[in-house]
Structure 1
Amino acid sequence: MAAAGVWEEKAQKIAVGAVAQSVVLWSIGGIVLAVVLARWARGPARTFVVAAVAFTVLSLAGPGLAQDTALSTQVVLAATHVVAATVIISILARRLSARDADR
């Protein structure tokens, strides 16, 4: 696949490792958000899901606004965002719910 960033004019190849690295990096961000919410939010699981879904929707702007990128690549990148977010959000929300029930 080749895609251009939002402010780039020319598409560059995307390596599979770059996709995996991005998923891991943003997953760490989600974990940090979950830890912060577990400590200070009243309903950490619900708050986390709302915030994480909002961030996921915002992340779809990247593939959607990428110039010089084939529509098929934009769809695959958007689907990758949604699949990764679904997995990570559900795991972290379940952990937060279980932790909240133990209190």
Structure 2
Amino acid sequence: MRTRHHTVLLVAADSGGRSQRELGEVLGIDPSAVVALVDDLERDGLVRREPHPDDRRTRLVVATEAGRARLAQTLALARSVDEDLLSELTPAERDTVLRLLRRIAP
């Protein structure tokens, strides 16, 4: 899964749904560019578009159960890679690296 696809899935799963405009802000890209990412994820059954409860002109991108399962798999894999990569660091150094990574890849 590509980084931007992963970020869309992560945000959609974590927030209970976001508009394409909001996803564009998170990714730092134009909302129109988000359409292709959401289309890809929707085609794979990982997200769905739902009506916004407060704005009938807006649709929310929401993670499906399959999307949440895929996200859990990728996060588990990332953790195992993190453990291998960070094994030579002290606990304080690991915390610093992980904190910095979370700032650039939420």
With normalisation by structure 1, the TM-score equals: 0.38
With normalisation by structure 2, the TM-score equals: 0.38
Higher strand proportion (structure 1 or 2)? 2
Higher helix proportion (structure 1 or 2)? 1
Q: Which has the higher contact order (CA 8 A, sep 6+)?
A: 1
